[in-house]
Amino acid sequence: MTRPKPTAMECSWKAVLLLVVASLAIQYTAIRTFIAKPFTICRVPKHTGCDPNPAAPCDPRPQPVTHILILATTRSGSSFIGQLLNQHADVFYLFEPLYHVQTTLINTSARSRQPSSPAADGRRLLLGAYRDLLRGLFDCRLHDLEAYIKPAPERHRTQRLFRRGASKALCSPPACAAPPPPPAASAGGEAQRAGTGTAAGEERWEEGECVRRCGALNLTLAAQACSRRHHVAIKTVRIPEIGDLRTLVEDPRLNLKVVQLVRDPRGILSSRIDTFPDSFRAWKIWRNSGRRPYNLDASHLATTCEDFLNSVGTGLARPGWLKGRYMLVRYEDLAREPERKTREIYRFLGVAMDGNVQRWIVNNTRGAGASGNHKYATVRDSAATAESWRFKLSYDMVELVQNLCNLTLAQLGYKLVNSPEELRNMSVSLAEDKSFLPFL
């Protein structure tokens, strides 16, 4: 008895099965062969040692990306601490990019004919825009700024980036193609270079000179400069509390570490009077005449102290979402021992402090006074500057601040003064010896 011949359907089914089995075998063999050999993966171009040029060699060593946010308030020493990060050769630093968000949204609201939204709604709108922009900038998407820069950039080029000259990365190739200035032969030129904290043979421009020489900023090239560095640092005085950053801190795409800088509110007030005379005219009249004006507005100071109280209270409570992400720094501690405190900050960030930072500290914390009249200058005797307000404010003014901010002063370890004599007695610091350890 003969077996029936297989039908075409049976042949087709068997052929498919054989092909599947063969394919699986081939894939399995290929995978085993592939993983048996050593290999490296180069992440190009973001935050690696790999050059975007495919012809260039790639450094395969993994380097962790650190996203750093300096959380501060106006006139608290944030420009100073920002420069401690800006000087690092592998840090891309931006000075107050949220300025553009605030000015654009506030101006748009002012031009609208619709009734103003409640304050709470306006605050939520601003904070949401702030967080969105920060998320993009930490990822080196500098083009995200274009929606807020006015007039709008053309072909990704702008002359209007706020304080562009405060960032070394934006004043260096590839963001700036201008040749460096020739070495100055005069004593004045030597002093200028020394004041900017540069090493021998390294040229450092003042902010205005950077803008003049570099011309319009190409945001595409700026993004490339960002991607070539392994750490991105941003300073802001526009986010009131650490709690407003929780969604960013918990974002798994970020390795965000927040350094909150605080200062004695009495020192903040004194600095604001000098820096913003139009907004603080009544306070200046009181300081100069000794008579308190009837229209004195202290709400800004009360708000600052309340923000400190809430934000620091959250940080010191050590919630789980801040573990390894939060460090509190008093400006007075940084000013008294700048090198030691800077090392503590870099240790918390997990970044090795380089020689550029050390040189900048030496050249910018032992000077006789501010470099020029610029309100953001950082060349000064930092220890003397920290409590110089004690000679500028009258005892009556200090007493008002102490009444408004007594809880904040106690929380941060600032001593109260009870007489004009105590106020002027510089042999006793008003910043208590108090340790604020990072939450690790």
Q: How far is CA 391 from the centre of its chain?
A: 31
Q: How far is CA 246 from the centre of its chain?
A: 16
Q: What is the mean pLDDT of residues 170-189?
A: 67
Whether pLDDT at 115 is above 90: no
Instruction: Say how far apart CA 224 and CA 141 lie, in whole Å.
Output: 10
* Cβ proximity of 97 and 234 under 8 Å: yes
Instruction: Specify the residue for token string 């450094």.
Output: 59
Residue bearing the bigger pLDDT, 313 or 12: 313
Whether pLDDT at 159 is above 80: yes
Q: What is the mean pLDDT of residues 185-190?
A: 37
Instruction: Look at residue 364 in the predicted model and tell me its pLDDT.
Output: 85
Instruction: Look at residue 26 in the predicted model and tell me its pLDDT.
Output: 46
Q: Tell me what percent of the chain is helix, strand and coil, each rounded to the nearest 5.
A: 50, 10, 40
Whether pLDDT at 256 is above 90: yes
Average pLDDT over the chain reads 80
Q: What is the mean pLDDT of residues 81-92?
A: 95
Using DSSP's 3-state secondary structure scheme, residue 256 falls into strand
pLDDT 10s digits, 188-213: 333 333 333 344 434 566 788 888 88
Cβ neighbors of 59 (< 8 A, separation 6 or more) are 42, 48, 49, 50
Q: Tell me the three-class secondary structure of 103-154, residue by residue.
A: HHHHHHHHHCCCCCCCHHHHHHHHHHHHHHHHHHHHCCCHHHHHHCCCCCCE
Whether pLDDT at 66 is above 60: yes
User: Which DSSP string do the residues of 241-255 spell out, in sequence order?
Assistant: -GGGGHHHHT-TT--
Instruction: Look at residue 32 in the predicted model and tell me its pLDDT.
Output: 36
Instruction: Say how far apart CA 7 and CA 4 lie, in whole Å.
Output: 9
Q: What is the mean pLDDT of residues 258-270?
A: 97
Q: Which of 16-25, 207-216, 367-376 has the highest mean pLDDT?
A: 207-216
Angle between the N-to-C axes of helices 299-316 and 265-275, in degrees from 0 to 180, rounded to the nearest 10:
140
Alpha carbons within 13 angstroms on the beta-carbon side of residue 423 total 17
Instruction: Look at residue 141 in the predicted model and tell me its pLDDT.
Output: 96
Helix (H) or strand (E) run with residue 69 in it? strand 66-71
Q: Which of 52-61, 212-221, 331-340 has the lowest mean pLDDT?
A: 52-61
Cβ neighbors of 243 (< 8 A, separation 6 or more) are 310, 311, 314
pLDDT band of 7, cuts 50, 70, 90 = low
In the chain, the largest separation of any two C-alpha atoms, in whole Å, equals 126
Instruction: Say how far apart CA 195 and CA 374 lie, in whole Å.
Output: 14
Q: How far is CA 277 from the centre of its chain?
A: 26
Residue bearing the bigger pLDDT, 232 or 39: 232
pTM, two decimals, is 0.78
Residue ranges per domain, the chain? 66-269+299-382
b/e string for 69-81 if b means 16 or more Cβ within 10 A? bbbbbebbbbbbb
For strand 91-95 and strand 256-262, is the pairing parallel, antiparallel, or unpaired? unpaired
Residue closest to 291 by CA, chosen among 299, 303, 283? 283
Cα 63–66–71 angle (5° rounding)?
170
Number of residues assigned to the chain: 440
Q: What is the mean pLDDT of residues 3-9?
A: 54
pLDDT band of 304, cuts 50, 70, 90 = very high
Q: What is the mean pLDDT of residues 207-230?
A: 92
Whether pLDDT at 79 is above 50: yes
Q: What is the mean pLDDT of residues 292-311?
A: 95
Using DSSP's 3-state secondary structure scheme, residue 226 falls into helix
Q: Which CATH architecture has domain 66-269+299-382?
A: 3-Layer(aba) Sandwich (3.40)
Distances (CA, A) of 139 to 217, 243, 246: 19, 22, 18
Tokens for 429, please give them: 């610091």
Whether pLDDT at 60 is above 70: no
Tokens for 98, please give them: 């949220």
* Cβ proximity of 127 and 244 under 8 Å: yes
Instruction: Look at residue 4 in the predicted model and tell me its pLDDT.
Output: 56
Helix (H) or strand (E) run with residue 327 in it? strand 326-330
